[in-house]
Structure 1
Amino acid sequence: MKARLLVAAIVVSTLSCTKINAQINLGDKAMGALQSGVASFTFSDEDAAAISKEAVRKMDSTNTVAGPKDGYTLRLNRIFGKHANENGLQLNYKVYLTKDVNAFATADGSVRVFSGLMDIMDDNQLLAVIGHEIGHVANHDSRDAMKAALRKAALVGAVSSQSDKIAKLTDSQYGQIASVIIDNKYSRKQESEADLFSYEFLKRNKYDVNAEESAFAILANMSGGGNADFLSKMMSSHPDPQDRADKARARATADGLYKPYVQQKFSNKAPAATTTKKTTTKKKKK
């Protein structure tokens, strides 16, 4: 499988091929908008989180998730576990075992990191990418992307229940929402603001801020070869990774923190089990 770059927090990036029949909690106004096809409606963080939570649960069930003793999980726990409550967000995180190069965060606080990304970046670089994804949630980009998807889907009559809490979505309707979300990339402004959030995240937690420039440089190098066609499709709505690397360097320089970044050694293998030898003491003969 060719490595793909999807460093953007798409709420349900793989659900268009997944069968889903879910009960989701929506607010009154959101339900009314779905029923009538109204183009503009109030859509809260809670509404987006409710849908995202179900979407991520389905994604987890259709992807190979690293187990608790897997080397990838252990590494992610070590470098990111301390940030499970970041910026007022309650975050949960897992690793998808795939060669794809990707990471995303959703409105409910789910963070998913692909093992392909962990194979090419050290701990600080990974934190720079994850910090970027958290920025999309903190800046309400994930909520707005979900709102836009529901609006564009125009699911007239999608909610048959008159209840103000339960909406039943069919497989095809949820697939329709997923398709719209996939097409609804984050704007250049949103990506730039998430980059700034990542930089401040590294700086606030006393990590090497130069890891952000280095991470984007890696992604820029990936834009050649087999990934060129894929990345060229994203550039219409995403800043060029080399440009983002340059801006990260400029921020570090302005703060007097810039220095050439050297990638640190890292391993995604679980540590070998250690055995303790039992020592026996011989009794002295009387």
Structure 2
Amino acid sequence: MKKITLCLMLFGAMYSINAQKINLGKAAGMVSNSAKALTFTNEDAVKLSKESVDWMDKNNAVAGPKDPYTVRLNKLFGKHKSQDGLNLNYKVYKVKDINAFACADGSVRVFSSLMDIMTDNELLAVIGHEIGHVKNQDTKDAMKSAYLKAAALDAASSASSAVATLNESQMGKMANAFLDASHSKKQESEADTYSYDFMKTNKYDVVGAYTAFKKLALLSEGSTQSNFEKMFNSHPDSNKRAESIKKRAEKDGMWKDPGTVSLPTAKLTK
């Protein structure tokens, strides 16, 4: 990955020793206090999201159409390109970071290192979670604060109600700022619920959401980097979220004990 830190939105966590998190509550406060005059619509969020993703696609290694990662994602995700009234597009970034993210324009990007450690059902749970963030329009505030940061706007310079066009350098800053922002616990909880319902409705094994969280918990337990540890401290506890999935699956009669969950030693690319 080209010197950019991508840390949104895989179940509210990203796994990279370079991760630097921005609390969304503080970012939203900055927008409210310093740029009240800026009219920022859902259409603006969609437009800027597309521009950000286009920039990231150009600045990261994207798996080609015949790459095993793309073939696998097509198999899993192809049927969901039109999901719940959304038009979604997806690609794989061949990078070492463990992550996935979604944007307001319907772009979903999955990282190859995530695919290396997640089973098909776990990836489907992640995808469902990301679709939930798009459906719930969770990215609007994050994109607004990212835009203001990239354009170096403050209370004085944001008097205009229009969203300006950004240059190439600002576009890169906006992409990074957007992906450095975290969702609120409420937004993460709602996306978790969406993911579970997505799995259940499409007759996937909902236990995949449970084991995905357990793997995230294992990654956090094995963290030795200070930024890594701080990042996990700022997010909902993965084990607790796994237990919430288990309780709902038990209530629905869909729970199957997966046994001990561990991180794979070989890549799960197929």
Please state if 1:71 is matched with 2:68: yes
For 2:54 and 2:72, locate their aligned partners in 1 and report how far apart those are by CA, in whole Å: 22
Answer whether contact 1:159 1:169 (CA < 8 A) is retained.
no
- Other structure's SS at 2:108 match: strand
What does the per-residue CA deviation read over 1:162-199, in whole Å, with 9 as the maximum and x for residues that have no partner? 9x7x8332345445544543453111111111111100
For 1:148 and 1:214, locate their aligned partners in 2 and report how far apart those are by CA, in whole Å: 33
For 1:228 and 1:258, locate their aligned partners in 2 and report how far apart those are by CA, in whole Å: 35
Q: Give the deviation of 1:7 after TM superposition.
A: 5.6
Residue equivalent to 1:97: 94
Answer whether contact 1:159 1:168 (CA < 8 A) is retained.
no
Residue equivalent to 1:135: 132
Residue equivalent to 2:153: 154
Q: Give the deviation of 1:232 after TM superposition.
A: 2.5
Please state if 1:215 is matched with 2:212: yes
Q: Give the deviation of 1:42 after TM superposition.
A: 3.8
What does the per-residue CA deviation read over 1:67-116, in whole Å, with 9 as the maximum and x for residues that have no partner? 00000000000011000011111000000111211000101000100000
Answer whether contact 1:217 1:245 (CA < 8 A) is retained.
yes
Q: Name the amino acid aligned to 1:38.
A: A
Q: Alignment RMSD, CA only?
A: 3.2
Q: Name the amino acid aligned to 2:235.
A: H
- Equivalenced residue count is 239
Answer whether contact 2:207 2:255 (CA < 8 A) is retained.
yes
Answer whether contact 1:158 1:169 (CA < 8 A) is retained.
no
Residue equivalent to 2:48: 51
For 1:70 and 1:200, locate their aligned partners in 2 and report how far apart those are by CA, in whole Å: 30
Answer whether contact 1:252 1:258 (CA < 8 A) is retained.
yes
For 2:73 and 2:84, locate their aligned partners in 1 and report how far apart those are by CA, in whole Å: 19
Larger deviation, residues 247-256 vs 119-128: 247-256
What does the per-residue CA deviation read over 1:28-47, in whole Å, with 9 as the maximum and x for residues that have no partner? xxxxxx9xx63254422221
With the length of structure 2 as denominator, give the TM-score of the two structures. 0.77
Q: Give the deviation of 1:56 after TM superposition.
A: 0.5
Structure-2 change in CA distance of 1:87 and 1:103 (3 Å): same
Answer whether contact 1:210 1:261 (CA < 8 A) is retained.
yes
What 5-or-longer segments of structure 2 have no aligned partner?
13-30
With the length of structure 1 as denominator, give the TM-score of the two structures. 0.73
For 1:44 and 1:248, locate their aligned partners in 2 and report how far apart those are by CA, in whole Å: 34
For 2:109 and 2:218, locate their aligned partners in 1 and report how far apart those are by CA, in whole Å: 23
Q: Give the deviation of 1:220 after TM superposition.
A: 0.5
1:119 to 116, 125, 132: 116
Identity %: 52
Residue equivalent to 1:196: 193
